[in-house]
Amino acid sequence: SVNPMAYEAQFFGFTPQTCMLRIYIAFQDYLFEMMLVVENVILKKLDGFPGSKISPCQIRKSTEKFLLFMKGHIDKLFSKMEEVLLQLVLSIPKNVILPEDKVHELYPYSKEQLQALQDEISQLQQQYRAEASAGQALQAELEEQKVVRAELEKILQWFDGLENICREHGTSNFKESFAFLTQNSKKLQDVLKDVEEKSN
Amino acid sequence: ALDESVAQIKEYIARFTAESQSWDQLLLRHRETAEYMSRQLEECRRSQGQAEPLSYLQTSQAQVFSTKPDYQKILADQGEVLSCMELVLDELQQAVKLLQAFSEDSRQYLRHLS
Amino acid sequence: ELIVETATKRKQWPKKILMHAIQTMKAEQEMLKLYQPFVTPEEIRS
């Protein structure tokens, strides 16, 4: 089955399979290069034997045969090497968490828990705004109270003024003064009646 | 086996493509939200934070608000007091004028008699 | 390429998202601090 080895790719920055492929291609390229070098060396040596019956074409065929042989061996060995490298070197054990993912081990929040947290934050922000509005409303009410207080104090001052005027004119108690005035008027009325009788 | 592997590969391709797009969308969404909030903050700073008040009937001060007195009525009630005082002083003034008139009449009568 | 691209995003995008999330939260906090609701006092007629 296909194993994408994505976690390894996250760590290395390349997939292990790509890495092995690149190594294999490098081996192959090197093998081709070497084959060419070997072929050139043989051809040069052949030039030193003018009587030789071996043609460059035969050398080329042998080179290709040798290449196939070497490639076959390399392929066998490489597949073993690839297996070992993929299993033991270019792999991350199942129990290992990469540093960038450690936070999920320490704080494993589910989607629901995250949503709950976000909802709570929203609610707290709304509550804060409501409380701030309430604070401002209370401030506004204090201003209203100041106006009312000023009006009520004006009324009290008016009564104080009235009291002062009465005191200045010798009348601290309206009821008493009026009663006294009425009494005196009654006395005057009696005296006048008396005088009128006597006059008659 | 080859067909199976090909099918698996196709599935992986679809899954990884979808995941890659999801990551991009998630990043874009967060970036747009951050940019939007930055613009909102600038707006807020320009308006010096002035905003419409929210309903405060469910706050910790709800009880205080529910017992808010009617300040206009308190002042209006004082109007009655002043009206009453006006009436009283008017009556007093009239009564005193009456008594003064009586006093003046009495003095004139006695002077005349004298 | 697709595997590497996706794996790179798994590694790096969370950091960028975190950066934007922090920016968002700081802006929200700042706006809360600046929040100045204005409540007009009722007019009291003399």
Q: Residue B64: its chain A contacts at CB < 8 A?
A: 138
Q: Which residue of A has its CA nearest to B61?
A: A134
C12 touches chain B (CB under 8 A): no
Asked whether the beta carbons of C15 and A112 are under 8 A apart, the reply is no
Residue C27 has pLDDT above 90, yes or no: yes
What's the whole-number mean pLDDT along residues A54-66? 92
What's the whole-number mean pLDDT along residues C23-29? 95
Q: Supply the pLDDT for residue C36.
A: 87
Of B23, B41, B75, which has the smallest distance from its Cβ to C31's Cβ?
Answer: B41
Residue-wise pLDDT tens digits, B68-86: 999 999 999 988 888 999 9
Q: Supply the pLDDT for residue A62.
A: 93
Residue B49 has pLDDT above 80, yes or no: no
Q: Supply the pLDDT for residue A166.
A: 86
Residue A1 has pLDDT above 80, yes or no: no
Nearest CA among A84, C33, A66 for reference residue B44? C33
Largest interatomic CA distance in chain B: 152
Q: Supply the pLDDT for residue A174.
A: 78
Residue B57 has pLDDT above 90, yes or no: no
Angstrom distance (rounded) from CA A175 to CA A178: 5
Asked whether the beta carbons of A136 and B53 are under 8 A apart, the reply is yes
Q: Supply the pLDDT for residue C10.
A: 96
What's the burial of B76, exposed, middle or buried (CB within 10 Å: 0-12/13-18/19+)? exposed
CB contact under 8 A, C37 and B53: yes
CB contact under 8 A, B27 and C20: yes
Q: What is the DSSP letter of A14?
A: S
Q: Supply the pLDDT for residue A173.
A: 80
- Number of Cβ within 10 Å of residue A42's Cβ equals 15
pLDDT over 70 for what percent of chain B? 100
Q: Supply the pLDDT for residue A22.
A: 96
C32 touches chain A (CB under 8 A): yes
Residue-wise pLDDT tens digits, B6-17: 999 999 999 999
Instruction: Average the pLDDT over each of A52-56, A69-73, B107-111 and give the range with the smallest value.
Output: A52-56
**At A14, phi and psi to the nearest 5?**
-150, 160
Amino acid identity, residue B25? Q
Amino acid identity, residue A22? R
Residue-wise pLDDT tens digits, A118-131: 999 999 999 999 99
Q: Supply the pLDDT for residue A185.
A: 86
Q: Which chains touch A (3 or more CB pairs under 8 A)?
A: B, C
Q: Supply the pLDDT for residue A178.
A: 82
Asked whether the beta carbons of A32 and A94 are under 8 A apart, the reply is no
Residue A80 has pLDDT above 90, yes or no: yes
CA angle A58, A62, A68 (to 5 degrees): 145
> 3-class DSSP state for residue A84?
helix
What's the whole-number mean pLDDT along residues C20-30? 96
The angle, 0 to 180 degrees and rounded to 10, between the axes of the packed helices A16-47 and A56-84 is 160
Quick one: pLDDT band at residue B92, thresholds 50, 70, 90? Answer: confident
Of B41, B52, B53, which has the smallest distance from its Cβ to C30's Cβ?
Answer: B41
Residue-wise pLDDT tens digits, B14-29: 999 999 999 999 999 9
Asked whether the beta carbons of A130 and B59 are under 8 A apart, the reply is yes
The per-residue pLDDT of chain B, averaged, comes to 91
Asked whether the beta carbons of C38 and B53 are under 8 A apart, the reply is yes
Q: Which of residues 18-47 of A touch C (CB under 8 A)?
A: 18
Quick one: pLDDT band at residue B96, thresholds 50, 70, 90? Answer: confident
Q: Which residue out of A98, A104, A136 would a mutagenesis test of the C interface target, given it has the greatest number of C Cβ atoms within 10 Å?
A: A136
Q: Residue C6: its chain B contacts at CB < 8 A?
A: 16, 19-20, 23
CA angle A135, C25, B61 (to 5 degrees): 15
pLDDT, greater one: C15 or B47:
C15
Residue A192 has pLDDT above 80, yes or no: yes
